[in-house]
Structure 1
Amino acid sequence: MSAIAPTNALSALPQATPAGSASVVATMPKAASPTDNQPVPQANHTMRGRIAQLLNTMTLPHQPARLFSADWPKAADAICREWVDAQARHNVTTVSTVALSRMKALEFERKNRHTIPEDDRLLPATATKRDYYQAEIEAFLAAVGEPDPQAVLESFKLVGTGGLHRQHTTIGAAIGNAISVATVLTPDPVSKVALVSARLLTQIGTTATVVAAGPRRLRNACAEDVMPLGRADSAPAAKRAPNMLQASLSVMRTLKIKDINKSLEQMEVAMQALARERNGGNVKARQDARQQLELAFARICHQLSVKAAYKTASESAKIELANGLRYLLTSYTGTVAMLTATMVGILAPVFISTVVSGGLLGAATALTVVMYLGYQLSKGPSRDGEGGAKRAIVALIKLLEVLEGENTHSTRQRGAAYADYLQDRKVPRFTRPAERKKSGK
């Protein structure tokens, strides 16, 4: 019995990268195989393939970029060998410093175009932000030793399942909305009771599909990882980043202008005090000045860590947004239409008739269904997947850890120590371990 398995089936596993090294793209090297000279398959955008995927969410409309056709034991052995070879091939010691420097230069130029003369720019004056991101992605792929960056970029179009893990929930919500329309338009009380009961059962079923969407989402995520030639692994900072709400609250509490200026002033004062006491004979005063300087520096490191955490959380959110931008627009538009129609029917029963209210609700439901089907039967899922894969590389480029791992690690340690110091100060003095020890308790 033969089986077909993707050669990059293990690319979803976390990549071990030392501190301060560049995270790499886990792509499969081209080894001798029956698929060696085959081009990257094009994403299947045919109506037949999309409909088949709609009817069965476990169906993938196109093949992975790399395949092995063999008996499963042989195919599994070849997959593991290629994965090991890929780790060696994309080791941090093989990174091209020239391509990496170009990547960072493009990022600097994108942020500071107004300060660089046109003759000294890497891209023409008409280049947009998207052009810079595209050039940075190509430079990144070249930096990690990818022999054919364009093939990798083309394979990104195979990513994206269009949020099919939510399809059952969407269908349940559409059925529930249709029953609501029928309930509004039905004058018979007995029929209304029956429809309300059906609506309740539908809501219970929809809730069950929400719970069941989790395993399907995991399955889809794994499928998206093995479809292209490689996926960008998250930098260590992204894996420990807080959520966007926590990061925003921390920024509002910590990064106030007056607090930043106060930290800089305190550090300047501490440096001046240490300079005065450096040649003095008072050892105690010199130690106190050094301690104040270390405390002021730790405070600044804490503020830098808060800023870095917010930036990382922001980039993670942008990846999620790019990975489902068109789907979210479709979903939110339908939701807004449904809420608007429902609120009009509730708040304006005197000015519009029941038939008009039901018609608005029905039109909103129909719009939601048509938009969802239009998205799923178009290139929307493929473009969402491609956008998310590219944005993941852009996020790697923007993070300082790609090139400055040791510096950020030291800053993070000092910032964490100062955060612990602030947390300890919140505890009442009589409950602190040092105070209890002094009091003999």
Structure 2
Amino acid sequence: MGQVGTGAYRAKLRGMKKMVIYRLQKFSTFAFLIMVSFSLLSGPGSSKVQAFDDASEIHHSYLNQENFLDIKSYQFHKLKEDEWFESPGGWRLAGGSMGLDLLYSHLEVRLPHALSDETTVFFRAWQEEFYEIKPFRYLVEVEWRPIEWAAFSLLGMPEYDKRKADQGASITLGKRPWNFLRFQQLFQDLFYNEKNFYDNSYYSPHPMENNLEGSFNWKNWRARFSYVLDKPFKQVFPKQSLTFTYNGKDSSAVLDYHYGHQRIAGLSWRSFDIRKRRETTQSTETASPDNREQQLLYSSADFYWLHPLSTTMHGTLGLREDHFRNYFRQLDLDYDSYDFHLWTLQLYGILRHQTATDRFWEYGLYVGDTDKVTDYLNAARTDKTRRKHEAKLRVSKEFRYLSNNSALMLTTSWNIDDFFNDFWDGGNISYQRTF
């Protein structure tokens, strides 16, 4: 009996030892990731996922009368938006002409990789351009989820220039895609003042971004939101006698009611408010790009109704309003100061026709009332005002690849309001893959 008892005791010890080793291995993996993350954050790094995206120049606006009809026709279908939101990862790209010289572009990447049951590494990227040039933005995130309903993350991205090192963290309650709440804080260019050997420029204070987002799923209702706040900051360039100041906020929300399969009635909304100022005391003979102030305001509301028409046909009806404003001030020459706005109210319909298991045709009709105004502050200049109705037709062919859950869409668009004088309205290509 003594030998049997001793053997059972030793077996129990071996089991406990294995459990301790297993826990230590998991803890060491997490500790290693934490150390690597801190080395990324306090070493060379620059996170690009932020409302302030290094677009520090101040430019004029070059939007055309029909551009918000163009943008709506180029954006992903509502069914694809929902598919993207609910997928763990993927990447997608859409681009289309906004005139002879400009292109609308939208790029998103979301790549998760699980290292263990508790630890996941994410690579995220996002870029949208329709009113000015936007640098490519990306982010590496290490998430630790010790319990099912809570997660903690460290954020950062390696880069050669240590002045651009950013450092951030986030906490998430719940789990994507639904019923979660996440708060993220990112300190941008955190080591700029300490590691700047290029010149004597500095921040006072440093840029800081706060981001709150979440989603909720209750019965037939789906809701999600995002709010990004850039705290005011100032960057000083003593050699050029130049200061740059910035603050901004960006918010979006979606509310949907699902009353059946691919039957949706909902509203999406987005707005941003960006303020920039570049000011120098150095005198110039002409208006300087370093003596400008700007406020960019944008709001968009989209009401939509989706309903299947048959087993192979699906329809969408929608009403959307867009309003973009650029309050531009040339500080050393008021002759060039103005208030610009472009407003569009459009009614649209989309018919989606499945011709094979992996083939679709899409037809979109967009009709809008537009108002474009440039109101100069100097009385010597003549204001520009144009109220005009716009209409366009979109014809698209989609190729779905069921083996890897992806879709490629090729689009042509046609002027309806001025067909005989200028029938071609540009092309569009979009691709989306989820996994």
With normalisation by structure 1, the TM-score equals: 0.19
Max radius of gyration: which structure? 1
Q: Which has the higher contact order (CA 8 A, sep 6+)?
A: 1
Structure with greater strand percent: 2
Structure with greater helix percent: 1
